[in-house]
Structure 1
């Protein structure tokens, strides 16, 4: 009986190896990126944010990139180093992303650009976006890469991570 239970437990624990490894949320890289690097990677920057109230940040931009799913919004926060991005930026990136994101001036810690962190939910079709009126967080998740925090548009965390990783891949391209 113990052998059957142990064998069953081993089979269940091993499972199948078909599941893909989820994209990393924190990518340790000692490079120092700038807006010019992002532009070269395909990001269109449209608005610079005042970072005087964003702890440790040296710059921040809002824009978009054309990913596999079409044009999507991206917010990039620059820090002096990767360590600063992780230590000083993670908490406020968490606050600005996900289903429970704080995306209004009354609750957000850093209110600069808060209106860019929301969008109208389409309810399934793009044509209904203007009619639905339901405001949802624009960024479902984020990636820390080098000295940057990348907040990427998505309805689900996986969509945001995929978009962020498209930008990371473009930055890593030769």
Structure 2
């Protein structure tokens, strides 16, 4: 399974490099291994600016904590909130690092298994708790409210247990669905209104907000 995912990620990185060379604002819709029920939007935006954590904070991002997992090459790896939705921020020394290391990291953090759930193999930093049977009601999610609770992956025995993980959780899904790569910055976004498969305004408008 890991080998298949690694190969798929490598092919996606090559494809995104090709697309990003075609111009600014390139958008790719990835259907998670061919499953159209769980699409995500990936934006690759060329920029010569080296963005900093302060640049992201200047558009309203409220940083909370460092991610628990290791993100090779990243100088910043934190999650926080922007416009009442959670976003994860990865910053790299260069745009090339963001397009390779950053894309690989974002793919791991937005990966859905065949049921649309988080993989549960220790590779995902942030997950959301969803009621059982959520994937059978994908269409209804766009019209109704969705109560989700973002939380860390399950900690090792003996470690501190985040309060949100003390509550029962029928199904865990990836907190982030879409992601945007602009210059040396990768932003991974929760769907609008906390809905797992809802498009993200934060990821869509990131370029405009950072460059205005």
What TM-score range do you get, normalising by the shorter chain? 0.5 to 0.7
The structure with the largest alpha-carbon Rg is 1
The TM-score normalised by the length of structure 2 is: 0.56
- Which residue pairs with 2:199 in the alignment? 159
User: Displaced runs of 4+ in structure 1, greater than 6 A?
Assistant: none
**Cα–Cα, structure 1 residues 128 and 171, in superposed 2: closer, same or farther, change >3 Å?**
closer
- Which residue pairs with 1:88 in the alignment? 101
SS of 2:177 mapped into structure 1: strand
Q: Distance in 1 between matches of 2:57 and 2:175?
A: 21
- Which residue pairs with 1:10 in the alignment? none
- Which residue pairs with 2:181 in the alignment? 144
- Which residue pairs with 2:210 in the alignment? 171
- Residues 29-81 of structure 1 show CA distances to partners (whole Å, capped at 9, x for unaligned) of 11111111111111111113467x32211111110111xxxx10000001001
Q: Distance in 1 between matches of 2:108 and 2:180?
A: 14
Kindly report the root-mean-square deviation, in angstroms, between the aligned alpha carbons of the 2 structures: 2.9
Among 133, 155, 170, the alignment partner of 2:170 is 133
SS of 1:57 mapped into structure 2: coil
Among 71, 82, 87, the alignment partner of 1:54 is 71
SS of 1:84 mapped into structure 2: helix
Q: Distance in 2 between matches of 1:165 and 1:120?
A: 24
Among 42, 66, 72, the alignment partner of 2:60 is 42
Unaligned runs of 5+ in 1: 1-20
Q: Distance in 2 between matches of 1:102 and 1:120?
A: 10
Report the count of equivalent residues.
Answer: 139
Contact 1:26/1:145 (8 A) holds in 2: yes
SS of 1:139 mapped into structure 2: coil
**Cα–Cα, structure 1 residues 128 and 61, in superposed 2: closer, same or farther, change >3 Å?**
closer
**Cα–Cα, structure 1 residues 87 and 133, in superposed 2: closer, same or farther, change >3 Å?**
same
Q: Distance in 2 between matches of 1:75 and 1:167?
A: 13
Question: Pairwise mapping of residues 15-26 of structure 1 onto structure 2 (< 5 A)?
Answer: 25-26=43-44
Unaligned runs of 5+ in 2: 1-25, 28-40, 135-140, 150-167
The TM-score normalised by the length of structure 1 is: 0.67
Q: Distance in 1 between matches of 2:107 and 2:48?
A: 22
